[in-house]
């Protein structure tokens, strides 16, 4: 079962359905959870072959109406989102420098249903104990050699190389390819979109969506421009606004370009599009 599906099921049992009532607004918990996963993928830093560090402190900015509605439940929701991030990190073999925390904040410039996610890496006090090392010390590991959530199993990996003598700085840590773990060697990725229950296969490098009959996928919606946006397949796949009148919203955020993952929710005009991909 996927991490996001487990997250949704845990929310269903909280406070006798309280969250089901709260989240009748446009902001959905699974959208925030997906945004946190992308934040990890996009800010992952490779320390060595066995260790990739991701942010552990997340701030979810909400519009004033959504913040007022959700703030009474911020503690429980933050715990559930933190658990989801921990599960996702274990799946992707990511590690953290400190405990995972998710905070809700009010942003006056956001409209109802929209949100932003910011993140940072905060080291715990245990990870900084002892003499100052040449490079950041690794986070504390569970006893007994077993890896906890977000930690790779087996013995602690070697530390990154120290800076060269004379106070100079070594090369910056390499950045991983966005989108998390890539497909298995030889595996073929199938991609498609779902619009109003109808599936449209993506069998070319680019797919133009719009109201024009010349678009690859025609959307009969007055709020959609003739050539509204374009999906570009790759690792990862992306979506690009083509100068449309009303723009695009991807996973709750207005944007002109965004990375897509399986389950990404795209809104153009009054039409919702679900992007899907699977191996094999």
Crossing angle of helices 29-42 and 74-92, in 10° steps, is: 40
Q: Is the pLDDT of residue 270 over 70?
A: yes
d(CA 123, CA 138): 9
- What is the DSSP code (8-state) at residue 155? S
Better-scored residue on pLDDT, 31 or 4: 31
CATH number of 189-279: 2.60.200.20
Whether the per-residue pLDDT at 52 is higher than 70: the answer is: yes
The structure tokens listed for 235 are: 């690792």
Note the pLDDT tens digit of each residue in 67-96: 888 888 888 888 989 999 999 989 888 999
Range 213-229 burial, b when 16+ CB lie within 10 A, else e:
eebbbbbebeebbebbb
Distances (CA, A) of 203 to 67, 218, 250, 266, 277: 41, 16, 22, 19, 12
Rounded mean pLDDT, 84-111: 90
Structure tokens at 274: 């679900």
Q: E strands within the chain? A: 45-48, 51-53, 57-62, 94-95, 101-106, 115-120, 189-195, 198-201, 206-210, 217-218, 229-232, 238-241, 248-250, 253-255, 257-259, 265-268, 271-279
Torsion sign (Cα): 234, 37, 263, 247: negative
Under DSSP, the state recorded for 17 is G
Q: Which of 7, 26, 102 is nearest to 254 (CA)?
A: 26
Q: Which two tokens stand for residue 66?
A: 């959504």
Measured over the CA atoms of residue 219, residue 222, residue 226 and residue 228, the dihedral's sign is: negative
Confidence of residue 264 (pLDDT cuts 50, 70, 90): very high
- For 13, 75, 84, 85, the CA distances from 56, given in Å and listed in that order, are 26, 16, 12, 9
In angstroms, the CA 236 to CA 252 distance is 19
As a residue count, the chain comes to 280
Q: CB-based contacts of 14: which residues, under 8 Å, 6+ apart?
A: 76, 80
Q: What is the mean pLDDT of residues 205-219?
A: 93
Alpha-carbon distance of 117 to 114, in angstroms, equals 11
In the chain, where are the structural domains located?
3-120, 189-279
Q: What is the CATH class of 3-120?
A: alpha beta
Q: How confident is the model at residue 66 (pLDDT cuts 50, 70, 90)?
A: confident
Average confidence score pLDDT of the chain: 76
């Amino acid at each position: 079962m996927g991490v996001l599906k487990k997250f949704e099921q845990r929310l269903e049992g909280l406070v006798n359905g309280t969250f089901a009532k709260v989240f009748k607004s446009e902001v959905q918990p699974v959208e925030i959870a997906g945004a946190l996963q992308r934040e990890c993928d996009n800010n992952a830093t490779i320390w060595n072959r066995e260790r990739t560090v991701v942010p552990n402190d997340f701030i979810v900015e909400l519009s004033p109406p959504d913040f007022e509605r959700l703030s009474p439940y911020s503690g429980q929701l933050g715990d559930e989102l933190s658990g989801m991030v921990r599960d996702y990190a274990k799946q992707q073999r990511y590690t953290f420098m400190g405990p995972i925390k998710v905070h809700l904040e009010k942003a006056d410039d956001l409209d109802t249903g929209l949100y932003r996610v910011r993140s940072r890496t905060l080291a715990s006090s245990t990870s900084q104990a002892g003499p100052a090392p040449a490079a950041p010390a690794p986070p504390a590991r569970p006893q007994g050699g077993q890896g906890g959530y977000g930690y790779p199993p087996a013995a602690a990996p070697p530390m990154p190389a120290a800076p060269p003598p004379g106070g100079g700085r070594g090369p910056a840590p390499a950045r991983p390819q966005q989108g998390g773990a890539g497909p298995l060697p030889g595996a073929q990725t199938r991609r498609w979109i779902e619009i109003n229950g109808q599936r449209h296969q993506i069998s070319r490098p680019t797919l133009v969506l719009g109201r024009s009959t010349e678009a690859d996928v025609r959307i009969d919606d007055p709020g959609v421009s003739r050539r509204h946006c374009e999906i570009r397949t790759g690792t990862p796949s992306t979506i690009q606004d083509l100068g449309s009148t009303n723009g695009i919203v991807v996973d709750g955020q207005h944007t002109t370009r965004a990375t897509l993952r399986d389950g990404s929710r795209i809104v153009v005009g009054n039409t919702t599009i679900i992007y899907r991909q699977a191996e094999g």
